[in-house]
Structure 1
């Protein structure tokens, strides 16, 4: 059979995942260590949430050690082989939702047409194996997918699509979360940075200085700046400004507070500076933004 796949770009707005297989593999831990499942091609997009593991997985001739809580993302055209023991949730899905593969009789072992390999920034950002800080949200969503899939009704595709979009969203966000970056060189400071982030979010109306934040992280100001910037991709001041603008946008749309009140509650020193920063970053004045997004 032809094992080649067709690659094409897909706009994020066209991602409309349809679940064509959902199952829970619990027998894996009964296999001896090193036992290999049959090597197979991946015909559609597949996600696995590892429930328990002392095993690994070969994907395109590369061995990936997998542990509890890991997410495995496989794409059409790849070759995969499970190396026991491990247990997992499995979801096979159609990215565009238009292939019309039979969900009642879908067999990922059976030779079949390959789904297109879609190129999209979100899909390309997710690695083959992701180790999120917390797998709780994934466990909940994978379990919801399974429960709905085995109790399908005429409206299930709509609900399953919403779950899959949430999974893809969380995967992308976790990839961009500093704690989950496997290349992050300052992992020993993760907890300290987490405390700093929490402090920033809870005290945006206060004056947040580099010196004060570095004390929370128990680092010198210069080293804290280096660690923060390396992990977040932006400096502490840039991050604070970003979060203050996000909060100000919400207040502009959700409340009747004056622009002066919003500026002060978001930690901006005065209205002219708030308006300057807002216009520079958002390309609208605060008043123009409120008018654009408020129903009046």
Structure 2
């Protein structure tokens, strides 16, 4: 299960009360889902989930509302939805599209760095709403359309090593997408004298948190690391990622706690301490707040799932 990038459930409910949470893993018990959907005119209500989603339109077009921005996705276009995006869809007659949904850890943990997963995605999309839409005129000349069809074929036929094939194709798509987003982030000009802060400063802080999450980190220390005042750092961090420093730190800790709960024999209290929580009760409360399940129940339900998927 993957990190909720910048849109914790309570924040989503506050901003999008009409949206419902979709528990993909509970519905399918898989870390990766793929389907070709044929839909005539119809609507898909606003919802959100913890999986990365890729929509690739084969014919006709669909209108997708992501958070508060609407996208017209035509034949040959690809739309990227990151975990926590509130999205709804209106389809037109003859609409046909590929829908890929994946836990980010399942696909990308071995190919992308923490900074890629937890910094570039939310930061870039928060500052460029068009970055998630890849038009046919751009990707038709690339191998992306073929890779999407190959993924669907591998998932449907499920031959030996199909998961490896899916990961390989998704990694190539991710490389294309992330380099594009990285280039957009690089275009941000460092104008710190006028109040704007270079993205590299925030990236430095994110990398530090992702590595040292199990230590006693404070916002004051991170402000010093970023070369900002505490108050400015707090405002800038939240405006860039959509969550406060403490929310982000807790999310990283919970993300790593999930792995320990699944892959180790540590007790709940030991897992809490291992990921940086000094109080087990607070850890349990935060875990349930973010994932809507207690650590004990999570371990009972999903223990061994990741190991099986990676085998």
Please give the TM-score of this superposition, normalised by the length of structure 2: 0.46
More helix by share: 2
Please give the TM-score of this superposition, normalised by the length of structure 1: 0.48
Larger radius of gyration: 1
